[in-house]
Chain A
Amino acid sequence: MNPPACLAAAPALTHNTLVVAAGVAAVGCAAGVVGSLSLLRKRPLIGDAAAHTTLVGVAGAFLLTGRRDLPTLLTGALVAAVAGLAAVVLVRRFTRTRDDAATAIVIGVGFGLGIALLSGITARGLPGSAGLEQFLLGHTAALTARDAVVLAVVSAAAVAVVLLGLKEATLVAFDAAFAAATGWPVGWIDQVLVTLVAVMVVVGLPAAGAVLVTALVVIPPVAARQWTDRVPTLLLLGGTFGLVAAVTGVAVSAVVPRMPTGPLVVLAAAAICIVSLVIAPRRGWLARRRRQITLEPPRA
């Protein structure tokens, strides 16, 4: 992988860098919030199929329009992500293939198609094609301030949708049978959630890349879950942890040459998760050990 030369230079705290950092922070926060809803709905990995098909959209958008500005590429990625999710649903409905195999096929074949297209583009040396591979593992150093603003706006919109429909989403996640019996359109509400996840996966591409962006949606909510028993707090912590992980990863990748951003963001999130699993009060490992040692009965 050949990152652009600008990475080798030491980072300067320019206005540009700060805006980019803010944009990535917004993405991380929104991914954590949306991911918390997926976790509550017991479908944390639903974005995986979407994430791996985004590459097809990026390559396709470039081939169709010849442009490589971020909004164009991400729009293509969103179309492809939705198509990937639709493909999984179609395979489940119309074939005997089991659910997990359907997801695995879409992941592998979708990613393969994306790789094939990207490699074809690069091999032919089409103008402007350099740098498309950065969507594989994430690379924020090339983001412009304008791009970051776009990402931030979309992320804010996603969070707004979540907050608006929080009561409906919680109801469906907790007791879908009761929700359906009392007249709520459970299917539609699920569709909105899946679409939000697809949007977050696409928006997270510059920060984490196609292969690892699901981690941004999965790990911070898992960490947040250890600390709280209330839904609003879960969303708040999920967003916070996502934000911290994204910013940390981006900051470290700016300092370390040649390192793609995605893995660093994931490792930052994982560190928060491990710490949470160990030290969280009541649910953490240490707290459980302490309860066993002091023979404290579970609170009635």
Chain B
Amino acid sequence: MNAVLDGWSIDGATVMHAWAIATAATVAAACALVGTLLVVRRMSLLGDAIGHAVLPGIAVAVLAGGRPGGPLVFAAAVATGLLTVWLTRLVRSAGSLSDDAGTGVVFTTLFALGVVIVTAAASRVDLDPSCLLYGILELVPFDTVVIGGVEVPRGFVSAAVVLATLIAAAIATWKLQVFTAFDADAARAAGVPVAVVTGGLLAATALATVAGFEVVGAVLVVAMLVAPAAAAELLVRRLHHMAGLAITLAVVGTCLGYLAAWRWNASAAGMIAVVLGLEYVAAVVLAPDDGLVARGLGRLRYAWRVLCEDRLAAVWRAEEKGTVAAAPASFLQWLAVGWLRLTGRFVGRAGGLAMSVAGRREAEMIVRSHRLWEAWLGRHAQLPLDHLHPPAEWVEHHLGAAMRQRIEAEVGAAGDPHGSEIPPEA
């Protein structure tokens, strides 16, 4: 496997690496931009399919004399990409199959065809079969053209051209793309040429795929298309923020991946995909609202609050009846009692713990919420008595003073359906 980095001992090695990183980052930005729309339109797997299926187009174009990364190859890739979609529809309707089955048949067949063409013609063509699967990023800096007196890798030039084209196309058609993404039927009804818009997105995917081809190979392009966009989706809410964040994540991830590959002597393409994946995992865990950490903490906090409030209310109810509340039944309840004591709602008294003034007030409010809700349900929902307690058990933790006053105004201070008195507002 020649797709591995090791320290070069020639001068200007850093410049080589810099060019490689720049090329990879440019391609990643292009893929992330396209990927944002693919993810939002649930076309991620179609992006994967196109990534595989453009291979025979590229192979034929190179055999016909096109330069890898040249315009002929790009044109052939776009044509093959659109052909893939058309073939998928054909297979689907011919075989009465689902979307997935048609896609699966078409893209694997085209990819296999591409590999066969490339391998068979390997002697006549400078397409290394290994680059199919994991790109030749490390060799990109060595193939240069001269632009304005500076030696620039040809791969970087084509990647930059692709990125510029995609950005221009995005700016020009962004509103249409977003509209179609969110509601294709409404867009069609409003006169948007949905087929053209979708076709344009597919063509853009094919372009980004071919650009990614040299950098990470056919199979890993999907990582660059989908992972940054999916991570961005978890972190921001507006679509253009999502695109911007996806591009940023992609560029940062690519640089880190390349450096990691350099450090650990592994495939750059593989490490880039891995780092992009780690970025996604980080987003899943750390996202402020949806992240696992945030959700877990939120649930814990809520469960703890409910536990403490239930304990307070139980003590108050026992006092109302003139008995003593049962001892904590579990370790968690015992902890809750300790916490209530720590926060000043229980105080030590002779013979055990009792509610402080603040604790009593809080308990009264919980019981008030509970009984007001039961009264409201009884009045408006005409439920039998044994149906009132469970919902009130839950709602009592969620009513605030304003809500309680409104409910009281409706039901009057007559008392709850079981006949208990409703404590007044503190």
Interface residues, chain A, with chain B CB atoms under 8 Å away? 1, 39, 42-45, 48, 52, 91, 94-101, 103-105, 107-109, 111-120, 122-124, 133, 136-137, 211-212, 214-215, 218-219, 222, 225-226, 258-260, 262-264, 266-267, 270, 273, 277, 283, 285
Q: How far is the CB of A260 from the nearest CB of chain B, in Å?
A: 7
Contact yes or no, B112 A270, CB < 8 A: yes
Contact yes or no, B104 A218, CB < 8 A: yes
Contact yes or no, A100 B270, CB < 8 A: no
Q: How far is the CB of B255 from the nearest CB of chain A, in Å?
A: 16
Which residues in A have their C-beta under 8 angstroms from that of B44? 98, 100-101, 103-104
Q: How far is the CB of B166 from the nearest CB of chain A, in Å?
A: 19
Contact of B292 (CB < 8 Å), options: A94, A108, A133, A215: A94
Contact of A115 (CB < 8 Å), options: B52, B224, B233, B269: B269
Interface residue B16 (Cβ < 8 Å from any Cβ of A): no
Contact yes or no, A107 B269, CB < 8 A: no
Which residues in A have their C-beta under 8 angstroms from that of B130? 1
Chain B, interface size category, equals 35 or more
Q: How far is the CB of A218 from the nearest CB of chain B, in Å?
A: 4
Contact yes or no, A277 B270, CB < 8 A: no
Can you list 5 contacts pairing A with B, beta carbon distance less than 8 Å? Answer: A100-B45, A108-B224, A112-B276, A120-B264, A133-B1
Contact of A283 (CB < 8 Å), options: B91, B95, B225, B276: B95
Contact yes or no, B109 A105, CB < 8 A: no
Per the bound structure, the CA–CA distance linking A52 and B52 in Å amounts to 13
Contact yes or no, A104 B222, CB < 8 A: yes
Contact yes or no, A113 B95, CB < 8 A: no
Enumerate B231-273 residues with CB–CB distance to A below 8 Å. 233-234, 261, 264-267, 269-273
Interface centre among A112, A117, A119, A218 (most CB of B within 10 A): A112
Per the bound structure, the CA–CA distance linking A52 and B115 in Å amounts to 17
Interface residue B39 (Cβ < 8 Å from any Cβ of A): yes
Contact of B220 (CB < 8 Å), options: A111, A266, A267: A111
Which residues in A have their C-beta under 8 angstroms from that of B274? 109, 112-113, 116
Interface residue B105 (Cβ < 8 Å from any Cβ of A): yes
Contact yes or no, A136 B133, CB < 8 A: yes
A-facing mask of B1-14, CB < 8 A → 1, else 0? 10110100000000
Per the bound structure, the CA–CA distance linking A266 and B55 in Å amounts to 15
Contact yes or no, A109 B280, CB < 8 A: yes
Contact yes or no, A225 B95, CB < 8 A: yes
Q: How far is the CB of A228 from the nearest CB of chain B, in Å?
A: 13
Contact yes or no, B1 A122, CB < 8 A: yes
Which residues in B have their C-beta under 8 angstroms from that of A277? 91, 94-95
Across the two chains, which residue of chain B brings its CB closest to A103?
B45
A-facing mask of B92-116, CB < 8 A → 1, else 0? 0011111011011100110111011
| Given the contacts A95-B284, A212-B108, A260 and B95 also touching, CB distance less than 8 Å | no
Which residues in B have their C-beta under 8 angstroms from that of A108? 48, 219-227, 273, 276-277
Per the bound structure, the CA–CA distance linking A270 and B56 in Å amounts to 15
Across the two chains, which residue of chain A brings its CB closest to B5?
A123
Q: How far is the CB of B322 from the nearest CB of chain A, in Å?
A: 48
Contact yes or no, A105 B277, CB < 8 A: yes
Q: How far is the CB of B110 from the nearest CB of chain A, in Å?
A: 9
Across the two chains, which residue of chain A brings its CB closest to B90?
A277
Across the two chains, which residue of chain A brings its CB closest to B116?
A263
